[in-house]
Structure 1
Amino acid sequence: MAVKKMLPIPGVLEVLNPFKLKKQRIMNFNPAEGISTRQPAENTKITVFDYNSNLCKAIVLEKIEDTFPYLESSHLSWINIDGIRKEEVHAICEQFMIHQLIEEDILSVGQRAKTDEINDRLFCLLPMIYFNNETSAVDQEQVSIVLGKNFVISFQEDPSRDVFDPVRAKLLLQGSRIRNGNADYLCYSLLDIIVDNYFMVLDNLGERIELMEDLVQHRPDTRALARINFLRRQIFLFKRAISPVRELVNGFLKSESDLLEDNVTKYYKDVYDHIIQCNDLADNYRDTVLNLQEMYHTQLNLKLNEVMKVLAVVTTLMAPPTLLAGIYGMNFHNMPELESRNGYFYTLGGMGILLLLMIFVFKKRGWF
């Protein structure tokens, strides 16, 4: 398995923020006030897949009003809006008879994953998560999906990226299951591809964990600790984002809406199993990172013990020579050895012999 190289971390920033990321508030929507802090998108992209079992048209629209005829279309329609603007969301919600509470949820930011059923419309909101290879961070955007009798409307925050390309490819493929299914199967396909992408993010986090294990074992320094803390935070953010998705999918399984056919329920059950696996794997990664922190402290203690061992051995080896030097460094007149012609050399030789003898004994006992 190829592991991408971690980014260099210069300066003091490595302790506080090893990948130069600014901290962002995850929850910046106040439900009590009903105020959204979302900024209107600079660019929006409206695409429609109008299809049945025999044909499929992929259309890019200029204005939100061009989507209105698809409410009465005899075909199934998937309307995908990339980039959210309040006026456009209000217009399409009004035309497609989507309740105001759902409209507020679409315009909100930082919402937990949820599902609602209002006025014969099924609504779900969940995070679409990406792994940023440049910063080794987990990015996310909020995706809202509205299911009607013969249409599915999806709202995305970022018009530059999504994970729906496999769904688009299947829609263009003659005879595919999604072409022969109803709108509830299309909704399932969108949820399924979002949840499956969670596993790709987990794979990238797993690679970073493996890299950190090697780094902690061979170089347990302050930089390694900063990276461990950063990785732990990313796993925490990922876990917090996907945890409510399980209840979202469970809401589809328990729903008695006429929009959901009985033969499609088994597919939502498969998505439910996948999100449980994601949660379990995220928990395992979180525990692994906590073990990495313990391993870091253990490695530091071992390193400190090695240093103390070397210092203790050096101190012990130098003790006898220091003792001899101290004895013959006394300024007494009546010391017979002071008059010895070769006393200096005898003393140095004795020191050397004691030093070598102690080294031999320490080696034999395996002390170093």
Structure 2
Amino acid sequence: MLKSVKKRLPIPVVMDMLDELNPFKVKRQRIMNFNPATSVASRKPAENSKITVFDYSGNGCTEETLVSLEEVFAYRDKPTSTWINVDGIRKDDVHAICQHYMIHPLIEEDILSIGQRAKMDDIGERLFCQLPMMYFNSEASTIDLEQVSIVMGKNFVISFQEDPTRDVFDPVREKLKIPGSRIRNGTMDFLCYSLLDVIVDSYFTVLDKLGERIELMEDLVQHYPNTRTLARINFLRRQVFLFKRGIAPVRELVNGFLKSESDLLEDNVTKYYKDVYDHIIQCNDLADNYRDMILNVQEMYHTQLNLKMNEIMKVLAVVTTLLSPLTLIAGIYGMNFHNMPELASPNGYFYTLGGMGVLLVLMILIFRKRGWF
């Protein structure tokens, strides 16, 4: 694949594409800040908040964008299945929803927390999971992420998102609109699986973008092993490490659903969670491969730098060796003694220069024959 990239893209184009990998223009990100879940005061209320509801059954599906928070409460006791998606987290809204839907305060704290590690909890009659949703920012070549929380009950699933402007749930919305689809006729655990599945699948899109940058970086290192290239390598390495650290706990999250004995999970849906588990394992393996690749690129940079330095030292050594005999002769005849051979010869100066020139040419021929340069 790298060879095909080289054939398609000339070096100037590669330089333009990688010029965005400038760590001095982008602030360093952290996927997890390891703050305790109770530190909810640091979260700022979302400026924009939107609540959308999919209320569906095998007979039909309705999609609504709610105007007021109180409209959410009517869906708790409906016989149909309901997916409530809250875009933009506000403390009062989350508290009201958790109170009405009898969600445990510990889950509420996790929803309001920032930078939580991916996790899965089974508390009471509610299943809760929290994981990062990732996007690749092509302009800055960084990984953008938001924390997504999903709460599942007997006849509802509530998802909380930080960013109201984007998500990866459109495939789920489209399937809900299709009559007779598996998700329309399925239970809430299948809807929860579908949400987890599209989130995990979106990780592969981010991985593809990172892989493209790594391949272009390999090509760049071979032609321009300079300090700017090293800065780009370090910046890209940090993005790969942050991605790996963010998705690593998702494996245990999905495994928690597989091991859970909750009545909300049906046996015939377990195989679907097993499929997500296989995908996240594959994603972790690819992330490990890309981490090794970027480390190899860093080693390649140092190798290219050493080769370049060796070539410079080789040239300097050859020049020094060629000039050493000439310097010796010039030094000898530069001594102020009266009795020196050819000192009084009228052509001694030309004889000396001619001998030095012959010696220089002879040494060059010998070095070339030995393949020293």
Structure 2 length normalisation: TM-score?
0.91
Structure 1 position 21 matched with structure 2 position 21: no
2:220 aligned residue? 215
Structure 1 residues 175-202: Cα deviation after superposition (integer angstroms, max 9, x where no partner) = 3221221211111000000001111111
2:273 aligned residue? 268
1:334 aligned residue? 339
Structure 1 position 53 matched with structure 2 position 65: no
1:5 aligned residue? 17
**Percent same amino acid at aligned positions?**
71
**5 Å matches for 1:27-66?**
27=33, 29-31=35-37, 34-66=39-71
| Equivalent position SS for 2:195 | helix
1:286 aligned residue? 291
| Equivalent position SS for 2:42 | coil
Is this contact kept in 1: 2:88–2:162, CA < 8 A?
yes
Q: 1:80 to 1:111 in 2, by over 3 A?
A: same
1:359 aligned residue? 364
**How many residues of Structure 1 are paired with residues of Structure 2 in the alignment?**
361
Query: How many Å separate the matches in 2 of 1:36 and 1:355?
Result: 79
Is this contact kept in 1: 2:183–2:191, CA < 8 A?
yes
Q: 1:94 to 1:8 in 2, by over 3 A?
A: closer
Query: In structure 2, which of residues 116, 135, 138 is the aligned counterpart of residue 111 of structure 1?
Result: 116
Structure 1 position 304 matched with structure 2 position 309: yes
- CA shift, 1:23, in A, is 5.0
**Which residue type is aligned with residue 41 of structure 1?**
A
- CA shift, 1:251, in A, is 0.9
Structure 1 residues 291-331: Cα deviation after superposition (integer angstroms, max 9, x where no partner) = 22222222222211111111000001111222222222222
| Equivalent position SS for 1:339 | coil
Query: How many Å separate the matches in 2 of 1:8 and 1:102?
Result: 40
**5 Å matches for 1:64-79?**
64-79=69-84
Larger mean CA deviation between 152-161 and 255-264 belongs to: 255-264
Query: In structure 2, which of residues 254, 258, 278 is the aligned counterpart of residue 249 of structure 1?
Result: 254
Structure 1 position 227 matched with structure 2 position 232: yes
Query: How many Å separate the matches in 2 of 1:180 and 1:226?
Result: 52
**Which residue type is aligned with residue 128 of structure 1?**
M
Query: In structure 1, which of residues 183, 187, 192 is the aligned counterpart of residue 188 of structure 2?
Result: 183
Query: How many Å separate the matches in 2 of 1:162 and 1:100?
Result: 26
- CA shift, 1:26, in A, is 3.2
Is this contact kept in 2: 1:29–1:35, CA < 8 A?
no
Query: How many Å separate the matches in 2 of 1:25 and 1:185?
Result: 28
| Equivalent position SS for 2:147 | strand
Query: How many Å separate the matches in 2 of 1:278 and 1:339?
Result: 86
Is this contact kept in 2: 1:188–1:267, CA < 8 A?
yes
Q: Which runs of 5+ in 1 are unaligned?
A: none
Structure 1 position 143 matched with structure 2 position 148: yes
Query: How many Å separate the matches in 1 of 2:256 and 2:41?
Result: 25
Query: How many Å separate the matches in 2 of 1:64 and 1:75?
Result: 20
Q: What root-mean-square deviation, in Å, do the aligned CA atoms of Structure 1 and Structure 2 show? A: 1.9
Is this contact kept in 2: 1:45–1:60, CA < 8 A?
yes
Structure 1 residues 255-298: Cα deviation after superposition (integer angstroms, max 9, x where no partner) = 12121111111000000011111111111222222222222222
Structure 1 position 345 matched with structure 2 position 350: yes
Structure 1 length normalisation: TM-score?
0.92
| Equivalent position SS for 1:50 | strand
Q: 1:22 to 1:238 in 2, by over 3 A?
A: closer
Query: In structure 1, which of residues 81, 86, 91 is the aligned counterpart of residue 86 of structure 2?
Result: 81
Larger mean CA deviation between 332-341 and 255-264 belongs to: 332-341
- CA shift, 1:340, in A, is 2.8
Is this contact kept in 2: 1:7–1:135, CA < 8 A?
no
Larger mean CA deviation between 211-220 and 356-365 belongs to: 211-220
